[in-house]
Chains A and B, each alone.
Chain A
C-alpha cells in the first residue's frame, strides 16, 4: 500500500510560465507595428471644436499637420500662434514648409498630400484665413479641419 500513498497526495502542477515571454512578445510586436510615435511636441493648445459631418483621415503618412492655437507657455501670451513641426512659425514660413513636406514624400504620393489644420476653437479666423491663403498659393489644396466628434451646436 505504501507504494500508492505517494500518488494519493495529488498536487496541482504549477502553471508553466515558459510561454509567458512569447505572449508578451506577441503583444510587443502588435504595439510596435501599430505605434506611431508622437512626432511633434505641442507648443500650442489645440482644443479642437466638435463636428458631426466628419471623415476619417486615411493614410496618416500622407498627412502633415499645422497646429494653430494659443501658446502653452502662458508667458508667450494668449494670441494664437502657428506651429510647424517643432517650432513656432509665421505665415510666410508655410510655403517652405509645404515644399519640405512634399520633398519627403515619394513622387506618386505628392498630389495626395493633405494638410490637417489642428486649430484651437478660440482662435480667430484671421490667422486661419492667412494660412489658407498661403496654402492656396503653393497649391496645397487638400485640407482637413481636424475636429472632435460631437454636436457642432455645442461649440
Chain B
C-alpha cells in the first residue's frame, strides 16, 4: 500500500510572508519630491556682445551675503517682493517709468498686452540657499498670480481647472521672465 505523503505544514507561510512584508515596509520610501523647476540658460560665448536692455525694462533684484534684499537700489523686505514684482510686470501703457508694452496675439487667449520687463536676479556667493529659494519662490508666486488673473479673465476658470491647451496658452502669454545674472568673478 502506497504510503501517503504527509502534507507540508503551511502554517509558517504566513510568518515568512510577514517577514518579507516587514522588509519591504521598512525599505520603501514613498516620499514624493517636490521642487521649483527651472531651465538654465545655455552658456554664453566669451566674446558675445551684451544684449542691451533698456533700464526701464529691468527690475534689479540683488541679494547680498547677509541675505538683505536690494530692489532697484532700494532695500526691501522679502514679504513685499511678490507685490513689487507683480506691479512691475503688469503692463501700464503710457507710464514712462514702467517697462515698455507690446500687444501679442496667442491662440485661445487672443490679444494680450504684455510687458517687456525682465526681472534680473543677482546673488552674492555668500547668500544663503534658503534666502535664494525664498526669492525665487516669491518671484514665481508673482508670475503664478498673474497667470491666475489672466486665466480668470479669459476663461473664467482657475489655473488648475484649465485644459492642457489653455494652460499652455496662458504659459505663453505670461512668460516667467526672470533672468539670473552671470556670476561675477571678483
Task: Please give the residue numbers on chain A whose beta carbons come within 8 Å of chain B beta carbons, in ascending order.
Answer: 17, 20-21, 24-25, 27-28, 31-32, 34-38, 49-57, 60, 63, 114, 116, 119-126, 128-129, 132-133, 135-137, 139-149, 152-153, 155
Contacts and interface: CB of A to CB of B under 8 A. Distances in A.
Give me the 8 closest cross-chain CB pairs, A-B, nearest first.
A126-B125, A31-B24, A121-B130, A53-B140, A152-B137, A155-B130, A24-B17, A146-B35
B78 to A, nearest CB: 6
B106 to A, nearest CB: 22
Contacts of B36: 51, 53-55, 144-145, 147
Given A125-B124, A128-B129, A147-B133, A31 B28 contact: yes
B45 interface: no
B35 to A, nearest CB: 4
Given A120-B129, A123-B128, A125-B128, A54 B42 contact: no
A21 B14 CA distance: 4
Contacts of B144: 53
Contacts of B21: 24, 27-28, 31
Contact of B79 (A63, A153, A155): A153
B137 to A, nearest CB: 4
Contact of B133 (A20, A49, A60): A49
Contacts of B137: 51-53, 147, 152
B182 to A, nearest CB: 9
Interface residues of B, number: 46
Contact of B32 (A56, A114, A128, A144): A56
Nearest to B145: A53
Given A126-B125, A136-B42, A25 B17 contact: yes
B20 A28 contact: yes
Contacts of B133: 49-51, 121, 145, 147, 152, 155
Nearest to A37: B27
A122 B127 CA distance: 9
Given A121-B128, A146-B34, A155-B133, 10 more contacts: A17-B14, A34-B30, A38-B27, A49-B130, A55-B36, A122-B130, A124-B126, A129-B183, A147-B36, A153-B78
Given A17-B14, A143-B37, A146-B35, A35 B28 contact: yes
A114 B37 contact: yes
